[in-house]
């Protein structure tokens, strides 16, 4: 049986005992139905996994003893920052989940002209918290020990202003582009990847991206859905320049 791997916000140290937060308790006891003595792995984003076991289980509490820790997870070969146009709930969740599994470093949801999703200030806060839970769950599943950042949604113009750096490689996914990924110059270790919403980016937004040193590329002759495009693009980027090449 696979040993459960759980994220916690608590400090972790070999030889320590700790009482886990309520969201961990519910998952361990009600979903996984673990008992005292069961092994588990904890991580908190400090780049290590911590092995332990349940030493006490109550109705609303779980106590864990930590016995060992892994080596530090090495930093990725590439820092991939994804700017993703807002799309409908399940599509956005899927794109974020799979992007994390493929090694993205940060995700920023973007307000764009053609986005079909409109969020109030209250919904922005709620959705951001939801997306962070999605990303955390993806890290639990995929074995990542460093948590990717999930930023509060920004207007595209603000994200472009932050991403416009000489040392970064900006990539604009655009089916109208003449070049493919393997034809562009991308020598840096930081890649900023821009992908629009279901309705795509407007002509003005594409011009703004090019002005911010983003290179338009296409991923072949097919039009990809907004939740599929990040997976295809990140996979290709990792294969060309990232840790898909690592032996």
The DSSP annotation for 148-163 comes to PEEPPPEEHHHHHHHH
- Give the integer Cα–Cα distance in Å for 189 and 145: 20
The pLDDT of residue 120 = 74
> Stretch 190-205: mean pLDDT, rounded?
95
Q: At what angle do helices 203-211 and 156-163 cross, to 10 degrees?
A: 20
Q: Is 194 exposed, middle or buried (0-12, 13-18, 19+ CB in 10 A)?
A: buried
CA distances to 163, 168, 176, 180 from 186, in Å: 15, 8, 20, 12
63 pLDDT more than 60: yes
Reported pTM: 0.92
Report the share of the chain in percent with pLDDT over 70: 99
Mind listing the pLDDT tens digit for each residue in 78-94?
999 999 999 887 999 99
Q: 17, 5, 27: which is closest to 56 by C-alpha?
A: 17
pLDDT at 187 over 90: no
Question: Above 60 in pLDDT, residue 247?
Answer: no
pLDDT at 109 over 80: yes
Q: What is the DSSP letter of 77?
A: S
Picking from 241, 240, 246, 237, the residue whose alpha carbon sits closest to that of residue 102 is 237
- What is the rounded CA–CA span in Å between residue 83 and residue 92? 12
């Amino acid at each position: 049986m696979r040993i459960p791997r759980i994220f916690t916000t608590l400090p972790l140290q070999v030889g320590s005992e700790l009482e886990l937060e309520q969201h961990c308790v519910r998952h361990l006891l009600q979903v996984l139905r673990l008992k005292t003595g069961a092994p588990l792995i904890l991580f908190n984003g400090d780049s290590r996994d911590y092995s332990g076991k349940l030493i006490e289980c109550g109705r609303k509490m779980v106590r864990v003893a930590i016995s060992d820790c892994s080596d530090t997870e090495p930093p990725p070969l590439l820092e991939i920052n994804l700017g993703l146009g807002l799309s409908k709930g399940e599509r956005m969740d899927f794109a974020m989940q799979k992007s994390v599994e493929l090694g993205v470093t940060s995700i920023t949801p973007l307000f764009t002209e053609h986005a079909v999703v409109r969020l109030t200030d209250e919904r922005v806060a709620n959705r951001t918290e939801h997306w962070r839970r999605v990303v955390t769950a993806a890290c639990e599943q995929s074995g990542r020990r460093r948590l990717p950042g999930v930023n509060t949604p920004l207007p595209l113009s603000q994200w472009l202003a932050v991403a416009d750096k000489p040392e970064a490689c900006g990539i604009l996914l655009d089916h109208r582009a003449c070049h493919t990924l393997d034809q562009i110059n991308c020598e840096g270790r930081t890649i900023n990847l821009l992908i629009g919403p279901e309705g795509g980016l407007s002509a003005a937004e594409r011009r703004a991206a090019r002005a911010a040193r983003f290179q338009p590329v296409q991923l072949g002759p097919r039009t990809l859905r907004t939740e599929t495009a990040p997976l295809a693009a990140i996979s290709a980027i990792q294969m060309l320049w990232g840790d898909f090449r690592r032996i």
